[in-house]
Structure formats: structure tokens, C-alpha cells
Amino acid sequence: MNNPTPPDPPSLPGIPQPGSASNANDIRCRSCHVLWSQDQWTKDCPECGGAAMEIACLICGGKCGRTWKRMLMDSWDESQAHWLGGCGLPEDEQKQIIEASRQS
């Protein structure tokens, strides 16, 4: 009995295909193809957005000591970096930082 070869699985962004040289845990930027999973990112790439998988707090620039995590599917779907996190500074300090950034 002849068993046909099953079709290749659909290609998914950031997930290597069978026979590829990529590691199964590699996570890539779909726009510039750097390996976020190896802490690579491209400065001017909107999808990279200034970091790989984590970035210093986007409100205070890391002054609070917190990091934000990449929202992977949103970053891929919209070809623009999306981050999830919160600032650890008191709310009044956050407001001052935000207001100062609007005025510059």
C-alpha cells in the first residue's frame, strides 16, 4: 500500500520550518529578520521598537527598575513593536515625566 507524503505544515512567522537551520526556539522580527530570542534588534526597525524581548520601562526610561515584555503576536500582526508593562514610580512622578515629554 502506497502512503502519500503529508503536506508541509503552514508557514508561521518566527517559527522555523522543518529542515531549516534555525533553532526551534528562535523568535524573529518579521521585518528585519534579526533574532529577538538572541537579544538582537535593529535600531530603525519599527517592529523591533528599540529592543528584543524586553525593554526598560517606556514611561521613565528604566528609572523605576521595571522592564516591559514584548507582545509578540501584536508586534508581528501590526509590524510595529507592542509592549506590556507598567511603571513602578509613584503616579505623580509618572505624570510629570509624561507631561515633560509632551513639551519637548
| Res 88 pLDDT > 80 | yes
Could you tell me if 73 and 67 are in contact, meaning their C-beta atoms sit under 8 angstroms apart?
no
Residue 52 in domain: yes
29 within some domain = no
Q: Is the pTM of this model over 0.75?
A: no
**Residue 49 in domain:** yes
Assigned domain for 4 exists: no
Residue-wise pLDDT for 24-51, tens only, equals 789 999 999 999 999 999 999 999 999 9
CA distance 46 to 78: 10
Q: How many residues does the chain have?
A: 104
**7-20 pLDDT tens trace:** 444 444 444 444 44
Q: Which domain holds residue 60?
A: 36-103
- Number of domains the chain is built from: 1
